[in-house]
Structure 1
Amino acid sequence: MASITQLQYTEQRLADEIRTIEDTMAESVRNRRKLNEDFWPRYTQMDRHTDAAQQAKQQFQDDLNRMIEVEILMKKRKTKLLDFLQ
């Protein structure tokens, strides 16, 4: 059986990990907003029918999707940790 000290240490580590996940998710949201704010003004200045514009748009969408996927994984991890703590 684990001692109270070990359980408190484990609980503290899990709480720290949850805070780290929350901070990382908040940073990801800020980065996503910045990516969005930076991309669209440049895109509207391009001739949208050129290959370069289409490649830039595809890269933007890929980056955005990757960020969202990471946020979803972090949210799932946070949920598992919170469930474990209860």
Structure 2
Amino acid sequence: MIEGNWYFPPASVRSEHLAQSPTPYTCPWKGACRYLTVRVDGVELRDRAWTYPDPYPAAIQRVGRDFSDYVAFWKEVRLVEESEQAA
């Protein structure tokens, strides 16, 4: 957890539901952020996910692990496990 947000390893997120957003942002202590649009069942939630492809080394040290490309979501995005989705 970083600043109250859970960051998920890239392999645990279904990338077909994410599209790059043109929204720019650079966090003063984490580095350049890449926003993502979440797309599921015809609904698009712009900039509701984000990732840090190349966080600052000091940020990795501060967090205590490399979180490069991990994905976080805004709180209104409902995350489910695949087994839940199939039910």
Same fold (TM over 0.5): no
> Going by fraction, where is helix more abundant, 1 or 2?
1
**TM-score, normalised by the number of residues in structure 2:** 0.23
Give 1 or 2: higher strand fraction. Answer: 2
Q: Flag the structure with larger Rg.
A: 1
How high is the TM-score relative to the length of structure 1? 0.23
Q: Quick one: higher RCO (CA 8 Å, sep 6+), 1 or 2?
A: 1
